[in-house]
Structure 1
Amino acid sequence: MLRKTSQILLAMVVFLLIPEWNTLQPPTQAAENQETVVLQPAALAAKEAAPVSQAFTKGLPKGYSMHDFLVYVLADVEAFWSPLMVKDGYAKPDAGYSFPAAGKPVLTECILDTPDEPALAFYCSTDDRIVMTLQMATQLKEGTYKTNAEPPSKYKPGDFSVAFVLAHEYAHNLQTERGWLPENGDEAPKATSRSLELNADCMTGVWVHSVNARRLLDATDIQEVKRTLADIGQDPSVTDPTHGTPKERTKAFLLGYDSGKAASCEPYLTTRY
């Protein structure tokens, strides 16, 4: 979760014993029967457009917008996780979403007006809604969003940078469905924000593993994720970290990506970080 003011929300969790998940299998076509809202393509501020994952986006129409891309990614992530959640006895995830343009209000229980920060990506467990502003998506794609003073990464950003962050926020939805995040702020915290963030990074890696299993990853997609993790990881100098450092977040992501198993991410929840 990238929004600083949402840290308190993520600190409130409910302890729940979690059964070990089976090896994950790639889903069928992820974006079927999903409603697509067609808007004007989002312009990039950079002189040259960032690279596009041709394999992963082959199901999108020609000339698709950033909003279209976000809806497409969310549909793919949900199609992957839903059957696994149902198999393990949980309700089918059904998170809402909001991808507002610049100057538009963010309609969630966490924010009910136009945000002070135009570049936002977060999950609100109160009303089970994922939010990413189009400005945030554009900045992630360009590589102009950075939250630490670490040296710049050698890798270039791209559209899979956006996909990673959106899938990360969806992982917070999974944490809510499984009882780790409460639906209100009255419950005592049982895991730290940092633990939840690293678990979400790892779970995102599991989803990316499935994308690779479907042969939809381009050669630069993992590099784009590494670039983004280098940019959005918390500065190592922070004394009371709520997110992982670039190295910690990259390690968590690669653990999920290499294993392809949600169970490999469980220690992040049960160990205090």
Structure 2
Amino acid sequence: MWRKTAQIMFALVIILFLNGWNPLQASPQAAENQQAVVPQTLGLSAKESAVASPAFKKNLPADYTMHDYLIYVLADVEAFWSPIMVKDGYAKPAVTYSFPASGEPVQTECIIETPINPAQSFYCGYDDKIVMTQLMATQLLEGTYKTNMEPQSEFKAGDFSIAFVLAHEYAHNLQTELGWLPVTADEAPKATSRSIELNADCMTGVWANSVNARGLLDPTDIQEVKRTLADIGQDPSAPNPTHGTPKERTAAFLLGYDSGSAASCEPYLTTPY
């Protein structure tokens, strides 16, 4: 349960493009007019530093809220990736966030609404904003959010399920910084949706490797990720595979986790899926 000092007690739609809709996808005409630009990749061959987050606090206060926890996780993810990007010659990633409570509107350049389904988690590249509703986080924690018809995993969900999804959305921000995702409606992604999603899963595994190296993972945390991927991976029978199946997504996450290197994730972007 990721070294909590007290149990979390709280009462993506998750926009992960599961139904083939992509708020970042440009129109076919815009895609035809898009000039061919070779996006950047991290190109890191060495294992990422496991001490890239010196400001990370091991324990949250006993009375922390879900909003506190989301900020806590995002701060660690950002503190891990920012120095790596800067060290390798890229700009420091810039991202904003919104973690609305139930009933609060979700407002980004991609979507402005009070959600009909208030369980949402997504990244908007138009304004570099990550959104995760607190209800979405609670459902991930409880293991009650499921988007496919496959049998439920034997593993239990938990707080690292939330951390995985939030770190996955941050990986989309990295993809934007490196040119793989568009920043305006006139642009198109430079890779297929499933390639982008599997790369983000892999990059999330790289971050999780650093969390483990810092002694902050509990024995069940990786199992919690596997449970979440089983719940939100795309059903293999889906006709429009915009995401990977649970098996594909789990393999991508474990590739990043086992290698601890962003370079291991690059083939997902350069190979169409």
**Corresponding residue of 1:72:** 72
Q: Is the 8 A contact 2:148 2:231 kept in 1?
A: yes
Q: Structure 1 unaligned runs (5+)?
A: 33-57
Deviation at 1:19, TM superposition (A): 4.9
**Corresponding residue of 1:187:** 187
Q: Is the 8 A contact 1:30 1:80 kept in 2?
A: no
- Mapped partners of 1:94, 1:7: distance in 2: 25
Deviation readout 1:68-111 (Å, 9 max, x if unpaired) = 00000000000000001111211111200000001101121112
Q: 1:20 aligns with which of 40, 43, 46?
A: 43
Q: Confirm or deny that 1:98 pairs with 2:98.
A: yes
- Mapped partners of 2:108, 2:189: distance in 1: 22
**Corresponding residue of 1:257:** 257
Q: Is the 8 A contact 1:168 1:204 kept in 2?
A: yes
Deviation at 1:63, TM superposition (A): 1.3
- Mapped partners of 1:72, 1:98: distance in 2: 13
Q: 2:54 aligns with which of 29, 49, 53?
A: 29
- Mapped partners of 1:92, 1:24: distance in 2: 16
- Mapped partners of 2:56, 2:122: distance in 1: 22
CA RMSD of aligned residues (A): 1.7
1:66-215 matched pairs, under 5 angstroms? 66-215=66-215
Q: Is the 8 A contact 1:16 1:180 kept in 2?
A: yes
Moved more, 12-21 or 92-101: 12-21
- Mapped partners of 2:115, 2:222: distance in 1: 31
Q: Structure 2 unaligned runs (5+)?
A: 1-11, 32-36
Distance 1:30 1:232, change over 3 A: farther
TM-score (norm 1): 0.87
**Corresponding residue of 1:50:** none
- Mapped partners of 2:82, 2:131: distance in 1: 19
Q: Is the 8 A contact 1:156 1:227 kept in 2?
A: yes
Q: Is the 8 A contact 2:191 2:269 kept in 1?
A: yes
**What is the percentage of aligned positions where both structures have the same residue?**
70
- Mapped partners of 1:169, 1:145: distance in 2: 17
Runs ≥4 residues deviating over 2 A:
4-15, 28-32
Q: Is the 8 A contact 2:126 2:184 kept in 1?
A: yes
Distance 1:129 1:6, change over 3 A: farther
Q: Report the 3-state secondary structure (helix = DSSP H, G, I; strand = E; otherwise coil) of the residue aligned with 1:130.
A: strand
Deviation at 1:115, TM superposition (A): 1.6
- Mapped partners of 1:258, 1:10: distance in 2: 30
Aligned length: 248
**Corresponding residue of 1:43:** none
- Mapped partners of 1:256, 1:155: distance in 2: 20
Q: Report the 3-state secondary structure (helix = DSSP H, G, I; strand = E; otherwise coil) of the residue aligned with 1:8.
A: coil
Q: Report the 3-state secondary structure (helix = DSSP H, G, I; strand = E; otherwise coil) of the residue aligned with 1:189.
A: coil
Deviation at 1:112, TM superposition (A): 1.6
Instruction: Name the aligned partner's letter for residue 198 of structure 2.
Output: L
Q: Report the 3-state secondary structure (helix = DSSP H, G, I; strand = E; otherwise coil) of the residue aligned with 2:22.
A: helix
TM-score (norm 2): 0.87
Deviation at 1:240, TM superposition (A): 1.5
Distance 1:171 1:99, change over 3 A: same
Q: Is the 8 A contact 1:11 1:191 kept in 2?
A: no
Distance 1:82 1:60, change over 3 A: same
Deviation readout 1:149-182 (Å, 9 max, x if unpaired) = 0101000000000000000000000000111111
- Mapped partners of 1:19, 1:118: distance in 2: 34
